[in-house]
Amino acid sequence: MADSPAPLLRVENIHVRLGGELILREVSFDLAPHTTLSVIGASGCGKTTLLRAIAGLIDAERGRVLLGNENVESLAPNRRGMVYLNQEPLLFPHLNLFDNVAFGLRLRRFDDSAIRERVRELLSQLELEGLELRRPDELSGGQRQRVAFGRALAVDPALLLLDEPFSNLDADTRKSMQEVFKRLAHERGTAAVFVTHDLKEAMRVGDRFALIRAGRVYTYRDRDEFCADPASGVDREAAFWRDFSKTGSGEPG
């Protein structure tokens, strides 16, 4: 990714310590505009910490985060122009679907007609029309995640930070959400850092790839380089399915 001439996001030598333990060390990478970076790693390797440090929800011990040319390290999370999406949809339970999507726009004092127009457009793209007045507890898991995604997109963030957003969904809904994410991120030109522990998900949604191991982030020039690295697990996954198709059993990677 160092070949990108004008990165949207630049993470420089970030160190993050939590409870005395160094979770991330010397993390540096760039992200080009309109690109999704898939970050893969095992549970507990620091994926969430990476996103939260970029979002400003936790403080980095040292290092810099630049968005465009601006150093956002000293900015509060609400002024960084990024939206962090959790594993849970975290819809506001006191608001209906429409008001949840409109939440960020109302904070920014958009006028009512602009809010209506933008929310309706998003609800149409997310296939949520007709559900505007439903409360979060009246929606399915997939619908809630769509609303959370729409709520994030509504404010046109410079960068989306997605923390395994589809991990709590069933396989079919998950796949459909991955497609929705890809389509909307592409249509709207939104850049994203998408962390997951699921290799297939990472391969589906990502344009670029990174791997977190022992607190360090390893980035790859392209998909081929990522697939060729034994540490990515792509070989093991492929070997599993190869063995499985031959013998009906295999050792998953």
Partner 1 sequence: MMRRILAWTLCGSLLSPLILLVVLSLARHWTWPRLLPAELQARQWQDLIADASTLGPIVLRSLGIGTGVAILATALGFFSSRSVARHPRQGPLLALLHLPFAVSPVVLGVSLLYLFLRLHLAGHLAGVMLAHLIFAYAYAVILLSGFWTPKMRALEEMAVSLGAQRWQLWLEVLMPLARPLLLVCLFQAFMISWFDYALTLLIGDGQISTLTVALYQYFSSGDIRLAATCALLLLAPPLLALLMNQRLLSATVVTALEAHGG
Shortest Å distance, C-beta 186 to partner 1: 22
Taking the least distance from each CB to partner 1, the nearer of 169 and 203 is: 169
DSSP 93-148: TTS-HHHHHHHHHHHTT--HHHHHHHHHHHHHHTT-TT-TT--GGGS-HHHHHHHH
What distance in Å separates the CA atoms of residue 200 and residue 234, rounded to the nearest whole number? 9
What span, in angstroms and rounded, lies between the C-alpha atoms of 10 and 8?
Answer: 7
Structure tokens of 53? 């440090």
- In whole angstroms, the minimum distance from the beta carbon of 49 to partner 1 comes to 14
- In this structure, the dihedral spanned by the alpha carbons of residues 184, 53, 44 and 226, taken in order and rounded to 10 degrees, is 50
Minimum separation from the CB atom of position 86 to partner 1 (A): 6
Report which of 49, 55, 85 is spatially closest to residue 73, judged by C-alpha positions: 55
What is the C-alpha to C-alpha distance for residues 104 and 126, in angstroms, rounded to an integer?
A: 17
Smaller CB separation from partner 1, 54 or 210: 54
Rank residues 19 and 248 by Cβ distance to partner 1 and give the closer one: 19
What is the nearest approach in angstroms of partner 1 to the Cβ of residue 148? 8
| Residue with smaller CB distance to partner 1, 29 or 103 | 103
Q: How far is the CB of 30 from partner 1 (least distance, A)?
A: 22
Helix (H) or strand (E) holding 14: strand 9-18
Cα distances (Å, whole numbers) of residue 186 to 164, 194, 195: 19, 14, 18
Q: Could you tell me the smallest distance in angstroms from the CB atom of residue 218 to partner 1?
A: 27
Nearest CB to partner 1, comparing residues 118 and 151 = 151
Q: In terms of CB distance, is 148 or 203 closer to partner 1?
A: 148
Q: How far apart are CB 93 and partner 1 at their closest, in Å?
A: 7
Distance between first and last Cα of the chain: 27
Phi and psi at residue 63, to the nearest 5°: 110, 175
What does the binding site for partner 1 look like in residue numbers (CB under 8 A)? 55, 57, 76-79, 82-84, 86, 88, 90, 92-94, 103-104, 106-108, 137, 151-152, 155
**How many residues does this entry show for the chain?**
253
Residue 92 or 241 with smaller CB distance to partner 1? 92
Helix (H) / strand (E) element for 241: namely helix 234-247
